[in-house]
Structure 1
Amino acid sequence: MTLKKGKKLSRYLLAGFLITQAAIPLDNLINFGEAFKAFALNISPNLFYSFGLAYWIEAPLLLLYIRSLVYKNYKLTIKEALYFIPFILFAIYFTNDWLMLDNEIKMSALQNNNIEQAQILDRVIHLIRECLRFIFGIFCLIELHKYHKQIKNQVADIEDVDLTWLKILVLGFLVIRINAIFVALAIIFSYEMGIIVDHETLGLTSNYVVMFLITGLIFFSAGYSTIFKGIDKKLVNDESDEVVNTFNPEEISQIEEYMRVKKPYLNHLLTLENLANQLVISPRHLSSIINRHFEKNFFEYINYFRIEESKALLVTDKYRKTTMLDIMDMAGFNSKATFNTFFKKLVGVTPTQYRKDFWEKYNNDK
């Protein structure tokens, strides 16, 4: 929360999520750890179950954190407040069912409390909670899928805006939530149906995996999310949009001439919005032209011109001894990996081989 880099909202959402990830194991320690249980009883019976409220808000917080990274200028909406309705409902139920009781009744209940004696309603609520966490995990994956689908329509360099690390972590959390559903079902089977399932081992395994996932989230979010600018949600292509197959020929000519003469692709930081401003065309319309007329996404379109530029540089005598890194830089590429991969894909050989073949042929012809 005290970091200066990155989006303020993203930092606060991540901080909130990490706080819940501290509260959840604390809830487990108080309720199931023998030494901790006695310690908590001496302080206050209200410590029991209270930290479990974090289960109901950690999943929405992770989803909102992902959205704050994925989308540029992201702001929380009133609609997203609905995500916290289950938390509010459970908090009301919890307050009435536990917090409002006299301390003597709480102490008496806790002295003989064990998982076998829990009410069926509590087991069902537990299962509902884990199912909701799983659903939010699916929402997280959907947001990341949209991002990966749209990112190449808005930027020409994707190395600095890669959220693969977050997708891997979200998948990890999703597996944990699936495991949590099995734990909830195992408890019901074991104590309501007499079908014994080792839910303790499942739960402990989940706890250790969460520890590694949280460590990874802290490491990667601190190192990568601070430089991530996200995509513009207003420019995300909606599949329900009307498909336009033909465009104004003057617009097409304007774009082609501008690319040929002004060479905007030489700007390492070029984005769809930048180019649209230069052409005095709306970014959404430009994206539509590039996708449907030129049959490329923005990433492919811009890097095609960069490859053509690098090919011209490689066969120019002035740059015959220039390093590949300098050629790459002069052509507008930020990433050596993107340069080599795209060059090989479009030309069929590596940049080094292309230059070697050309100058060998040139010398032989002389």
Structure 2
Amino acid sequence: MFSYAAIPLDTLINYGEAFRDFALATSVNLFYLFGYAYWLESVFLLFYVRSLIYKDFRLKRQDLIFLLPLLAYVLYHLDTWYFLSDADKLLQLQQNYLGNEALSQRFIGLGRECFRLFCAILCLQELWRYQSKLKDNFADLESVDLNWLAILVFGFLFIRADAILVSLALFSSFEFNHQIDYELLGLISNYTVLILISVLIFFSLRFQTGLSGIWQHPAASSAESDKQLPDEASIQHIKSYMVEHKPYLNPLLTIDSLATQLHLSPRTLSQIINRHFQQNFFEFINQYRISESQRLLSDPDLKHINIIDIMDKSGFNSKATFNTLFKKRLGLTPSQFRKQQLT
């Protein structure tokens, strides 16, 4: 939020007449101060996405690599700006308007937008990775609302792409005399940012707690897994617990909550399910739910109970998921199966 507040301030100070006069009267250093936010906001968005989708997210030393472009830009300014006298800075500001920027400044601007696009692509990769791991962590995918975060990431990706087009349009207009309406492209970007920031505030406050995170490093490597094959006692413990306690009847069951009940680590439980049962967590839990629904649908004493209630009693939280998995396993819809069993 602070970085996105700083970016329009940088634009207003450099190109807005009233703000420019105020900055000149206050301090000439204001002309570049807020521009550093360009190098930070995409990095912050990446960290924000990671913090939402990974339970064990922590900033690490290697994450500092994302701050290197900002550091390089600050070092560049030490020689080209901060070591100058105030008189030289004022002269530079008078000569440095949009159509008269040095070629190096245009290349820096293009490089900055490419870096921001790169961070947005990393955000997409994190979302794809999260989506690919959902079935290893959740038995009810309907409870995981990923759409709002995906919309935000795609929106910011659009802004990055538009910013690169603006940079290229500036090159075309002032270096090659081929006019492109860079002002229109800039306005599109600014209005899109306004919409996305509003969406970000609304959805992050409303739905952030509904996005269940996963462990960033949940599983051992294949070589390590070979050395840690599940023992028969753990396998039998899981089987007997599922039959006796029926934890799958909880529609919000996750691998973390089941691991707690079994007194196992989520990593160990995931390894046993994947290697011994040859299933992911989603498949493992829902096979028990389908079996439970078969039992209920076959019971003549329960023939007055509708299919939705049977679905609820079996642990399903989604009619679509229930019908899809039931038909995939038995080749019949729940209604067809009940009719077959009770006639």
TMscore range, shorter length: 0.7 to 0.9
1:232 to 205, 208, 215: 215
Instruction: Look up the equivalent residue of 1:205 and give its one-letter code.
Output: I
Q: How does 1:25-44 map to 2 (within 5 A)?
A: 25-44=8-27
Give 1:290 shift: 2.5
1:159-198 counterparts in 2 under 5 A?
A: 159-198=142-181
- Could you tell me how far apart the structure 2 residues matched to 1:348 and 1:29 are? 64
Aligned-partner residue type, residue 45 of structure 1? V
**Given the superposition, is the C-alpha separation of residues 167 and 265 from structure 1 closer, same or farther in structure 2, using an over 3 Å criterion?**
same
1:91 pairs with 50, 65, 74, which one? 74
Tell whether the 8 Å contact from 1:161 to 1:230 is kept in structure 2 after alignment: no
Per the alignment, residue 246 of structure 2 pairs with 263
**Displacement of 1:337:** 4.0
Q: Does 1:152 align with 2:135?
A: yes
1:11 corresponds to: none
- 8 Å CA contact 1:70, 1:147 repeated in 2: yes
**In 1, Cα distance between equivalents of 2:312 and 2:78:** 62
Moved more, 213-222 or 335-344: 335-344
What's the offset of the Cα at 1:183? Answer: 1.9
Q: Distance in 1 between matches of 2:223 and 2:174?
A: 49
1:346 equivalent among 322, 329, 333: 329
Report the equivalent of 1:309: 292
2:93 counterpart residue number: 110
Deviation at 1:197, TM superposition (A): 2.9
1:221 is aligned to: 204
Whether the aligned pair in 2 keeps the contact of 1:153 and 1:297 (CA below 8 Å) is yes
1:56 aligned partner: 39
CA spacing shift, 1:161–1:237, aligned 2, 3 Å? farther
Q: 1:23 and 1:357, CA in 2 relative to 1: closer, same or farther beyond 3 A? A: farther
Structure 1 segment 2-21 matched on structure 2, within 5 A: 18-21=1-4
Which residue of the partner structure matches residue 328 of structure 1? 311
Specify whether residues 238 and 100 from structure 1 end up closer, same or farther in structure 2 by C-alpha distance, changes over 3 A only: same
Note if 1:47 corresponds to 2:30: yes
Secondary structure in 2 matching 1:45: coil
* Mapping for residues 244-323 of structure 1, pairs under 5 Å: 252-323=235-306
Offset from partner CA, 1:69-127 (integer Å, 9 cap, x none):
11113221122122112212212333443244333333333334311211111111111
Cα distance between partner residues in 1 of 2:26 and 2:334: 70
Deviation at 1:170, TM superposition (A): 0.9
Cα distance in 1 for partners of 2:288, 2:150 equals 31
Q: Higher mean Cα deviation, 334-343 or 142-151?
A: 334-343
Counterparts of 1:41 and 1:186, CA distance in 2: 29
1:192 Cα offset (Å):
2.5
| Cα shift at 1:299 | 0.9
Which has the larger displacement, 164-173 or 230-239?
230-239
1:62-141 matches, within 5 Å, as 62-141=45-124
Aligned mates of 1:28, 1:356 — CA distance in 2: 69
Secondary structure of the structure 2 residue equivalent to 1:48: helix
Once superposed, which parts of structure 1, at least 4 consecutive aligned residues long, lie more than 6 Å away? Answer: none
8 Å CA contact 1:150–1:237 kept in 2: the answer is: no
Query: Does the 8 A contact of 2:219 with 2:270 survive in 1?
Result: no
Task: Give the match for residue 6 of structure 1.
Answer: none
Partner SS state of residue 233, structure 1: coil
Structure 1 stretches lacking a partner, 5+ long: 1-17, 362-366
SS of aligned partner of 1:333: coil
Q: TM-score, normalised by structure 2?
A: 0.87
Identify the residue that residue 210 of structure 1 maps to in structure 2: 193
Q: CA deviation at 1:204?
A: 1.7
What percent identity do the matched residue pairs reach? 47
Equivalent residue pairs, number = 343
RMSD over aligned CA atoms reads 2.8
